[in-house]
Amino acid sequence: MDSSIKISTLLQFEKRRWLFLVGLVALTHLFCQSLMLPYGNALLSLFPDAKNNEVVNESESFKQSSVNMGIVNDYKEVDTPNLYNESQLVTKGGTSNSYKAGGDIEEENGPKEKDQEMKIKLALDDADMDDDFDFEDETLDDENIDTEEFMMQNDTLLRIGPGESRHNLSLARVKKGSSGSITVDADTKKIEETTSNDGFTNLSLVLVTPATVLLNNSIVSKNMEFDGRKANGSALDVSSDRTGKVSISKPAKKKLRCDMPPKTVTTLDEMQSILLRNRARSRASKPRWSSERDQEILAAKLGIENAPAFKNDRELYAPLFRNISMFRRSYELMESVLKVYVYKEGEKPIFHQPILKGLYASEGWFMKLMEGNKNFAVKDPRKAHLFYMPFSTRMLEHSLYVRNSHNRTNLRQYLKNYSEKIAAKYRFWNRTGGADHFLVACHDWAPYETRHHMEYCIKALCNADVTTGFKIGRDVSLPETYVRSARNPLRDLGGKPPSQRPTLAFYAGNMHGYLRPILLEYWKDKESDMKIFGPMPSGVESKMNYIQHMKSSKYCICPKGYEVNSPRVVEAIFYECVPVIISDNFVPPFFEVLNWDAFSVILAEKDIPNLRNILVSIPEKKFLELQLGVRRVQQHFLWHPKPLKYDLFHMTLHSIWYNRVFQMKLR
């Protein structure tokens, strides 16, 4: 009995001694910590206090805003060692519509709400992105980043901008031109949220506290994913110093290739030299095994090179062509020799479903007329000289592209899978590596979508840009035609005679790209005979006014937009107006056979300031020759429901045939 009492007393004594030692160590630690923290009290950092933590209520407008921030279920720890040696727990309540900081975690609805808040999300309003989805994967140097400074003073988060005085915080929203703001009232400690008239809410602060600015990279730099991309802290770049000043950099906006002038310029004369050089040394690889079709093409090549001299007739106008004799002989051989196999593989709507109206009508009309053609198309691929892959790049974008995702890899992969499929099923692709296969595509993205896996194919492209992989002498520059009526593609054809064209130059259109704003800056409302406008109002009357301007102008200005090509080139020819092409590195349509100097004016982009002087300096006789050339070349740029000789269908097919012929090497 006595021994048990002694043991019990000893244990109580040891317990008290250990508690005393633990307490002493804790006090010593806190004392040392307080000496190391000149900016605050270490004891206060251990206990949540109402004065140190603000609850930000989430209004209904915030829920519906295009920019909001959700917090991971349970909690996420946010360290700000550069400001204070403390950490805080942040959470979003289930249905309480509030953000809370401190040791207490609000959660009313439990797992159901937690499942909905599995990730931090930062939803960006993509309204400021280009409506035409025009962007490039290869971005250039970043723009200069605007930096603003934010700092805490008297429990209020203030913004110090360049040349600005201190004032209540007003964060610029993601959507351009918005005026909504969230401010912190220094007296009431309330956060006020204002919403602009357009219904969008400002970027909201999750937490405001005098001890911690909870706008830190650690919130957004945990490999978050939104809109199919990784944020990686790109929402805001935050840095701070020991004085409590926080610098917040706005996100760096990438400059797209289409928003900047090209780094290099290839002139028309240089393009001519490239064409002749490529003709002299064909780059086509030797087929893995010979074919009767190859011998027929080689025989055609000899016939074209030794074509008899030919003069004008009713159908062809000699000044329009580089070599009228070679063109005529090549065209005759195409009609008598060429056979094309059209692949049946591929599902609608991307394959075998042509679009006959609108901006991408060229690829659709060719698909329709090629698949229904009985003179060139064959059912037996062994009899074919060329192989056509009938897909629509417009329908590819429409069917597979996720809007505002800014990711086109799935589109390219889809075509890659298709090419691998026909290579596995047929032996013809593998015989030449695809060199006797061709595609016809008018979407701006076609060069990217067909890169690598269709690299050796003959590509008829509207976006014929030498800086993006267009191969002069192999690829074909496809005219971009804006067809307003699929039933009657020739509606409103023609224009006024030269004597009834009082306007020197005309342009109207959207401000796409970097070049068109420059054109308007120099020439809008500057001269009475220069009708240079921006976008014209919508409606039938406005469209007819646009057409009448083209019909009554001597020169129609055709500046590049996002890409080098423009439908205005063919529109000008359609309405018998001399096209003035302003687009560096653009290979004009059917460049291998047509002489564009005979019916157009091609200027460098740097010549825009001298545009009027250049046009006025053209003699009247020269203008009449150019206008005659436009009228005579017009037949080569027209679509017909039933193809006619020398029309746009036959010209496209001929250029594909012509380039294939001159790719072949004579033994």
Kindly report the three-state secondary structure assignment for every residue of 71-97.
CCCCCEEEECCCCCCCEEEEEECCCCC
Q: What is the DSSP letter of 597?
A: G
Query: Count H helices, E strands: the chain?
Result: 18, 24
Amino acid letter, residue 302: L
Biggest CA–CA distance in the chain, Å, is 135
Contact 340, 384 (CB under 8 A): yes
**pLDDT score recorded for residue 35:** 53
Residue 101's closest CA among 231, 241, 209, 222?
209
Looking at this protein, which amino acid is placed at residue 537?
P
Q: Model pTM greater than 0.75?
A: no
Could you report the average pLDDT of every consecutive run of 10 residues in the chain (667 residues)? 69 79 81 52 41 38 37 34 34 35 37 37 32 31 31 37 36 36 39 40 38 36 36 46 56 68 92 91 74 94 92 86 96 97 96 95 98 96 97 96 92 96 94 95 96 94 96 97 95 95 96 96 95 90 91 97 96 98 98 98 97 97 98 98 97 98 79
Strand partners for 76: 90
- Residue 245: strand pairing partners: 151
Total residues belonging to the chain? 667
What's the pLDDT score for residue 245?
Answer: 56
Residue 282: the pLDDT is 66
Q: What is the DSSP letter of 511?
A: -
What residue ranges in 114-205 does DSSP mark as E strands?
147-153, 156-160, 167-168, 181-184, 191-194
Of 645, 655, 659, 661, the closest CA to residue 313 belongs to 645
Residue-level pLDDT at 310: 80
12 Cβ partners below 8 Å, 6+ apart?
Answer: none
DSSP-assigned letter for residue 499? G
182 CB-near residues (< 8 Å, 6+ apart): 169, 170, 171, 191, 192, 193, 194, 202, 203, 204, 205
The pLDDT, as a whole number, for residue 329 is 96
Residue pair 48/94 in contact (Cβ under 8 Å)? The answer is no
Residue of 258, 54, 248 whose CA lies nearest to 159: 248
Closest listed residue to residue 310, CA positions, set 322, 323, 300: 323
Q: Quickly list DSSP for 271-289.
A: HHHHHHHHHHS--PPPPSS
b/e 292-304 (16+ beta carbons within 10 angstroms → b): ebbeebeebbebb
- Cα–Cα distance measured from residue 569 to residue 561, given in angstroms and rounded to the nearest whole number: 12
Q: How far apart, in whole angstroms, are the C-alpha atoms of residue 645 and residue 638?
A: 11
- pLDDT score, position 243: 59
Encoded tokens for 600 = 């157009």
pLDDT at res. 389:
98
CA 538 to CA 548: how far, in whole Å?
Answer: 15
339 contacts 378 by C-beta, under 8 angstroms: yes
Residues 6+ apart with CB under 8 A from 235: 122, 220, 251
Q: Which amino acid is at 78?
A: V
In single-letter form, the type of residue at position 637 comes to F
Q: In what helix (H) or strand (E) does residue 559 lie, and over which residues does it extend?
A: strand 553-559
Asked if 590 and 477 touch (Cβ cutoff 8 Å), the reply is yes
Per the structure block, which two tokens stand in for 328?
A: 């005529």
Return the structure tokens found at 131: 């409506």
Q: In whole angstroms, what is the distance from residue 468 CA to residue 470 CA?
A: 6
Which stretches of 291-408 are DSSP H helices?
292-305, 324-337, 361-371, 393-400
Q: CB atoms < 10 A from the CB of 123, how many?
A: 14
Q: What does the block give as tokens for 176?
A: 């351009």
65: its two tokens: 């805003």
DSSP 602-613: EE-GGGGGGHHH
Which DSSP symbol is given to 654?
A: H
Looking at residue 523, its pLDDT comes to 97
Residue 126 token pair: 């993509």
